Amino acid sequence: MIDDIARIGASAPARISAMASLDELRALEAELLGKTGELTALKKGLGTLDPEERKIAGQAMNEARSTLEALLADRRSVLENAQRAITLASERLDLTEITDELERGTVHLVTQTWDRLVDVFLGMGFTVAEGPEVETDWYNFEALNIPAAHPARGMWDTLYVDLGDPETVLMRTHTSPVQIRVMTDGEPPIYAIMPGRVYRRDTADASHMPVFHQIEGLVVDRNISFADLAGTLEAFTSAYFGGSIHSRLRPSYFPFTEPSAEYDINCVFCEGSGCRTCGQTGWLELGGCGMVHPTVLSNVGLDPEEWSGFAFGFGLDRLALMRHGVDDIREMYTGDVRFLEQFPS
Amino acid sequence: MKVLLTWLQEFAPFPSDDPVALGDVMSDLGMAVESIERIGEGLDGIVTVKVLELRKHPDADKIQLVDVDLGDGEPLQICCGATNLTVGDVVPLATLGTTMPDGMEIARRKMRGEWSNGMLCSGRELALGEDHSGIYILDPSLALGTPIVEALGITPDVLFDLEINPNRPDAMSVAGVARDLAARLGLPFSIPSPTVEEVSGDVAAMTSVQILDADLCGRFHLRVIEGVKVEPSPRWIADRLSALGMRPINNVVDASNYVMLELGQPNHTYDLAKVPSGELRVRWAREGESITTLDGIERNLTGRRDGVITDGSDTPIGIAGVMGGASTEISELTTSVVLECAWWQPMAIARSSKFMGLRSEASARFERGSDPEILDLAARRLAELLAPSGARLLSGSISADGQMPERKPVTVRTERVNQLLGTAIDSNEIAVILRSIGFGVDPSDDSGILAVTVPTFRPDTVSETDVIEEIARHYGYSRIPNRLPTSTQTGSLTPLQRDRRVIRGVLVGLGVHEAMPLPFLAPGDLARAGLPAAAVTITNPLAAEESVLRTSLLPGLLRAIAYNESHRTDGVRLFEIGKIFGLPAAGSTLPDEREHLAVVLVGREAPAAVQAWNVLAGTLGFSEPSIDQSVSPAGLHPGRSGALLVSGSVVGEVGEIDPGVLDAHGIRGRVAWLQLNLGVALALEHGQRAYRHISRYPSSDLDLAFEVDDAVTAAQVQALLSDAAGELLVRIHLFDVFRGASVPDGQRSLAYRLRLQASDRTLTDEDVASVLAACVGAAATIGGTLRG
């Protein structure tokens, strides 16, 4: 019997490794170890042996069985891997054969710029205020120290609407009326920015639209100075445009601020060395700013001796255009998907 | 305002060596330099030559060969494309090696096989004007080989173009710019006193003035100049006027303009012979009056709005502060001139000029406020300029006064200056700064409180803050430190602002692009979109297409769809968040302005919009969103639209755009539409989400199909089943709708899958059976029968 066991054990490895498929291997396994298999048949003969022989044969049989099981498992693993490899190979796909792309929409370039600006100011402790786009003369002009027939009214080409007395209700020409609303409805300290859509009586061309967007900032608190204005704009400039871009202020005139200033930044294209975009000056004019005019504070019931503040404002569309090198502002407003989809973020 | 460096130098010794640096100082003072032009630069190497012979180029039709003489008699061949040359002309030649004003270098080159030894120049090529139609023909008597700068008598100069702010009337003159600049640079400034000999004469017998309306004119000053000979101005005057953008006309008009540009005092010259008895009156215009102005246009005047100067017969002969009349205009026959220098009420001139639509160099200065103290200086300066032509200024003048604004010293507190600027400037430095620009400062005691007298050329400066701005300007904005305010406030968005970002995020994820159509519509756009025509209109639109304010986002998006389709972009998905403008609510003067969201899905049917709404409603956390199809919003397909409700309030509409509306816009196919009134919707409580425990016990699915009348909505059936299933229900959804032979007419089968699960136990068969029974019972209440 020992010999029989040894024979099976000796011939099995070659037989097992000759199996080319899992089916064949399963058949061989039955043949070797199954109920009607060779080893099982030998096992039945154990009873006929004397105890000493039976012990030795039993041990040999167990050893042979484990050896065979291990060999079968190894072979099965090899065959399974081969089978899996064949399946995987047959499932190969050309991953560039995409016929139904997923489509994502886009947020408008103006909104992207709007949110980006807002986020910088949120980080600086500002809240975001909004107001109506159709305004009364009071909020848009009078309260801002621009009385009727003031020469400065010529600075804005105003669209009026047919409501109330003639030329008393208008499309707001700037976001500044929101300043008045914020100061009238709330009380200092005020740290607010006011993005919004504004209107001018202007024919559309590559750099003008009758409808465009501005963002305005207002701070009213005790002891606010021109130095705070300069510092705030410098901090914003570096945060928004990058650390290498700085701001400067130049004297200017606005009826609602005094002292007033133009707010320039280093040209973002040449970083100040001079290029075509900045007319070789190294600077880009961004907007206007200044200390809130005492008359404006009085108009909203604030004592200019107790409170002081600054305001600033600039165009938003131009920043959107500049960031992406868009050379015609009209492109932003046609709703042309070929334009919109170019700016996924 | 343009200024020439040499002109500025007549008032202060400005250096000539670095115009750019000078320009930087002007900008830093708030007189922003828009351009700097160097006159006469880049003309070295350009000399006068005479045309000796014109020959045809053997190999080119558009080029001719020109032999020129530089003065040595030797013919030099030049190739030239211009055709305005004749033999004997004296013309400018850019010789070899010359760098032209535009940077081009002149070299010897062959043109179609013929040598060209230089370039004959047009006016534009010499930067002497815009003319590029031919070669610049010079005076034939000029010596040949003369440098062009010498031949033309060009004085090298620098022209600065400045942007002057409305609060700087003083900077509307060469002298005023010089004053500001000299102060910053620490240079001595003075306006030279005119040297003009006055001859005696009885001015009072020749002319007179009466101010009838004192609120129009503050001061009216007249002088008489005799022996006037009207002729072209001397070259230097004409050149300066041209450089500053004014066309030279004759010596009288030019002198008048010269004085205005130099001193900022607009003035007017009358031909004395055309003013009966030399009598002048000043008053408001009367309704119905008109006048023909110097530009030959007859203008109707408005009473109490426009001011006029009349003659003794009360006939208007000039519009006060804006433009003179044609009837008393200087002509070649003029020999005696009445010269008017006046101070007009700025607001009067501003109003008159604005509403008449007539802006002049004079009105621009008067409306900002001119200097009432230089009237006679300006008159004498004008006479001085005219003197070389033989004109004589008569001694004596006629003056009349109206109302002048009261001028009071301004109290300026040093502490306030520094508080507002964030600086530490002491009162001595403040005094030095202010005095340098003509302000008077009473010697300060230790209190730091200064009494500041404002010069007459700064009428804009009336308050302490005005003075502080002047201090800041001359102290230098760049010297003011940067500081950050210490806000105790935290930055945050409002819930509405946060929700907008959420909405955009959802729609972008659904493949929808944000568009921004303009809020203006053409008349008829609303009707074409199937909407009521009532809307707020623009009083003064630039174009009819921009004369109506939208009452809905629909027309703008329809236009955007049509635009895309016309550019072969089909199936666009667009959304917009923007304001719409309804007619004012009772008691309000402002429109009923509301913020809407609208979505258009081209090529999609109504359910696509409902799907988008469901995602939005779910994301925003609206409670009980539903659709009421019993109403059919304007502009939408009546059978495929409805109102959107949240907690029973109407918040918007959903469906498909009316095919008729689409037709009217040339849009093919269907367009799904969703509109949400954000103000209403987002004001409702939303976004409250309590955590729902996720059960660890197995769930069980129950599929139920009911045959239901078409009149009963799927949403109603679902609501009934949900109620019936009770708290074991964790999810329900409609997974199949079937109409066909096995279902009775007028009905359809709605198949729902209900997932049931208990939070505390494994479901039993009895649990499932009782839900089934409850659902069947509930469906029966609306006539629904379970399909076997």
B513 with A106: Cβ contact below 8 A: yes
Residues 6+ apart with CB under 8 A from A3: none
Which helix (H) or strand (E) is B421 found in, with range? Answer: helix B414-421
Which residue does chain A place closest to B487, by CA atoms? Answer: A125
Which residue does chain A place closest to B350, by CA atoms? Answer: A151
Q: Sort out which chain B residues have CB atoms less than 8 A from A152's CB and list them.
A: 166
**pLDDT given at position A59:** 87
A336 with B165: Cβ contact below 8 A: no
Which residue does chain A place closest to B355, by CA atoms? Answer: A149
Half-sphere exposure of B657 (CA within 13 A, CB side): 33
**pLDDT given at position A58:** 85
Q: Over the stretch B273-303, which tens digit does the pLDDT of each residue have?
A: 999 999 999 999 999 999 999 999 999 999 9
B463 with A103: Cβ contact below 8 A: no
> DSSP 3-state assignment of A221?
strand
Whether the per-residue pLDDT at B579 is higher than 90: the answer is yes
**pLDDT given at position A153:** 72
**pLDDT given at position A46:** 80
Instruction: pLDDT band for A37, please (50, 70, 90 cuts).
Output: confident
Which residue does chain A place closest to B23, by CA atoms? Answer: A281
Instruction: pLDDT band for A47, please (50, 70, 90 cuts).
Output: confident
Q: How far is CA B281 from CA B217, B292, B371, B373, B396, in A?
A: 11, 18, 22, 21, 19
How far is the C-alpha of B157 from the C-alpha of B121, rounded, in Å?
21
**Gyration radius of chain A over CA positions:** 42
> DSSP 3-state assignment of A6?
helix
* β B636-646/B625-628 pair status: antiparallel
**pLDDT given at position A152:** 66
B517 with A335: Cβ contact below 8 A: yes
Whether the per-residue pLDDT at B725 is higher than 90: the answer is yes
B489 with A191: Cβ contact below 8 A: yes
Superfamily of domain A109-340: Bira Bifunctional Protein; Domain 2 (3.30.930.10)
**pLDDT given at position B26:** 96
Which residue does chain A place closest to B560, by CA atoms? Answer: A335
B512 with A105: Cβ contact below 8 A: yes
- Domain ranges in chain A are 2-91, 109-340
B538 with A161: Cβ contact below 8 A: yes
A111 with B487: Cβ contact below 8 A: no
Q: Over the stretch B8-54, which tens digit does the pLDDT of each residue have?
A: 999 999 999 999 999 999 999 999 998 888 888 778 889 999 999 99
Q: Over the stretch A175-234, which tens digit does the pLDDT of each residue have?
A: 999 999 999 999 999 999 999 999 999 999 999 999 999 999 999 999 999 999 999 999
* Amino acid occupying residue B580: I
Residues 6+ apart with CB under 8 A from B505: none
Q: What integer best gives the mean pLDDT of chain A? A: 91
Q: Where do we find the tokens 């200097």?
A: B371
Closest CA to B86 of B58, B52, B120, B47: B52
Instruction: pLDDT band for A329, please (50, 70, 90 cuts).
Output: very high
* β B592-602/B573-582 pair status: antiparallel
Q: Over the stretch B513-522, which tens digit does the pLDDT of each residue have?
A: 999 999 999 9
**pLDDT given at position A133:** 98
Whether the per-residue pLDDT at B615 is higher than 70: the answer is yes
* A123: its two tokens: 């980080």
Which of A111, A167, A226 has its CB closest to that of B421? A226
Residues 6+ apart with CB under 8 A from A251: A259, A260, A261, A262, B28, B29, B30, B165, B469, B472, B473, B477
Whether the per-residue pLDDT at B562 is higher than 80: the answer is yes
Q: Sort out which chain A residues have CB atoms less than 8 A from B477's CB and list them.
A: 226, 230, 248-251, 259, 261
By percentage, how much of chain B surpasses pLDDT 90? 82
A-interface mutation test, from B482, B559, B575, B667, most A Cβ less than 10 A away: B482
**pLDDT given at position B130:** 62
- For residues B461-486, average pLDDT: 95
Q: Sort out which chain A residues have CB atoms less than 8 A from B350's CB and list them.
A: 149-151
**pLDDT given at position B129:** 64
The whole-angstrom distance between residue A59's C-alpha and the CA centroid of its chain comes to: 71
B-interface mutation test, from A236, A249, A258, A312, most B Cβ less than 10 A away: A258
Q: Over the stretch B368-384, which tens digit does the pLDDT of each residue have?
A: 999 999 999 999 999 99
Q: Sort out which chain B residues have CB atoms less than 8 A from A225's CB and list them.
A: 419-423, 483
CB A270 within 8 A of CB A282: yes
**pLDDT given at position B442:** 87
- Residue A54 vs residue A280, higher pLDDT: A54
Q: What share of chain B is helix, strand, coil (3-state, %, to 5)?
A: 30, 30, 40
Q: Where do we find the tokens 């109620």?
A: B723
- For residues B213-240, average pLDDT: 94
CB B677 within 8 A of CB B594: yes
Whether the per-residue pLDDT at B149 is higher than 90: the answer is no
- Residue B598 vs residue A30, higher pLDDT: B598
**pLDDT given at position A40:** 81
Exposed/middle/buried for B363, CB within 10 Å: 0-12, 13-18, 19+?
buried
Q: Over the stretch B87-101, which tens digit does the pLDDT of each residue have?
A: 999 999 999 988 887
Which helix (H) or strand (E) is B255 found in, with range? Answer: helix B251-263
CB B421 within 8 A of CB B483: no
CB B327 within 8 A of CB B319: no
